Amino acid sequence: MTVVVVGAGLSGLVAATRLADAGFDVMVMEARNRVGGRTHGIEVAPERWVDAGAAYLGERHTGLVDLLAELGLKTTPTDMDGASRFLLGGDGDQTRDGRFPPLNAVALGEMFDLLDELTRQVDPAAPWLTPDAERLDRLTAAEWAAEHLTHPDARLFFPLFLGEMMAAAPADVSMLHVAFYLRSGGGISYLNAFAGGAQESRVAGGAHQICEQLAADLVARQPGSVRLGEPVVAIEDTGAGVLVRTSYETSSIATGSYDAAAVIIAVPPPLADRIEITPRPAPRATAATGRGSAVKLHLVYPEPLWRDAGLSGWSVNAGGPLLSTVDDSPAEGGAGVLTGFVTGREARAYGALSYDEQRAAAVDQASRVFPELPAPLDFHLTDWVNQDYSRGCYAALFGPGDWLALGPTLATPAGPSGRIHWAGTETSLEFFGLMEGAIRSGQRAADEVTEQHH
Ligand SMILES: Cc1cc2nc3c(=O)[nH]c(=O)nc-3n(C[C@H](O)[C@H](O)[C@H](O)COP(=O)(O)OP(=O)(O)OC[C@H]3O[C@@H](n4cnc5c(N)ncnc54)[C@H](O)[C@@H]3O)c2cc1C
CB of 440 sitting under 6 A from ligand 1: no
Query: Which atom of ligand 1 lies at the shortest distance from residue 438's CA?
Result: 26
pTM: 0.97
Tell whether ligand 1 has an atom less than 6 A from the beta carbon of residue 268: yes
Centre of ligand 1 to C-alpha 374, Å, is: 34
**Distance from Cα 390 to the centre of ligand 1, integer Å:** 7
User: Does the structure show a pLDDT above 90 at 252?
Assistant: no
Atom of ligand 1 nearest to the CA of 61: 11
Sequence spans of domains, the chain? 2-38+208-284+410-453, 41-58+75-81+197-205+293-383, 102-191
**What topology does CATH give the domain 2-38+208-284+410-453?**
FAD/NAD(P)-binding domain (3.50.50)
Check pocket membership of 445 for ligand 1, CB cut-off 6 A: no
Interaxial angle between packed helices 435-453 and 62-71, expressed in degrees from 0 to 180 and rounded to the nearest 10: 80
Q: Does any ligand 1 atom lie closer than 6 A to the CB of residue 290?
A: no
**pLDDT band (50, 70, 90) for residue 255:** confident
CB atoms within 10 A of CB 120: 11
State the average pLDDT over residues 93-104: 94
Please work out whether the CB of residue 12 comes within 6 Å of at least one atom of ligand 1: yes
pLDDT in tens, 18-77: 999 999 999 999 999 999 999 999 999 999 999 999 999 999 999 999 999 999 999 999
User: Per CATH, which fold does 102-191 belong to?
Assistant: Guanine Nucleotide Dissociation Inhibitor; domain 1 (1.10.405)
User: Is pLDDT at 293 greater than 80 in this prediction?
Assistant: yes
How remote is the CA of residue 40 from the centroid of ligand 1, in Å? 9
* pLDDT for the residue numbered 320: 87
CB of 6 shorter than 6 A to ligand 1: yes
Torsion of CA 30, 36, 39, 40, to 10 degrees: -100
Burial class (CB in 10 A: 0-12, 13-18, 19+), 226: buried
Q: How sure is the predictor about 130, in pLDDT bands with cuts at 50, 70 and 90? A: very high
Q: How far is the CA of 326 from the centre of ligand 1 (A)?
A: 21
Q: What is the mean pLDDT of residues 301-308?
A: 97
Residue 296 CA to residue 342 CA, distance in Å, equals 6
Atom of ligand 1 nearest to the CA of 442: 25
Instruction: Find out whether 146 and 207 touch, Cβ atoms under 8 Å.
Output: no
Neighbours of 301 (CB within 10 A): 22
Higher-scoring residue by pLDDT: 115, 239: 115
Is the CATH number of domain 41-58+75-81+197-205+293-383 1.10.8.640? no
| Cα 30 to ligand 1 centre (Å) | 12
Q: Does residue 248 surpass a pLDDT of 90?
A: no
Residues 6+ apart with CB under 8 A from 311: 82, 83, 84, 85, 95, 370, 372
Looking from the CA of residue 7, the nearest atom of ligand 1 is 34
How far apart (Å, rounded) are the C-alpha atoms in residues 435 and 356?
Answer: 32
Inter-residue contact 167 to 344 (CB < 8 Å): yes
Residue 384 Cβ inside 6 Å of ligand 1? The answer reads yes
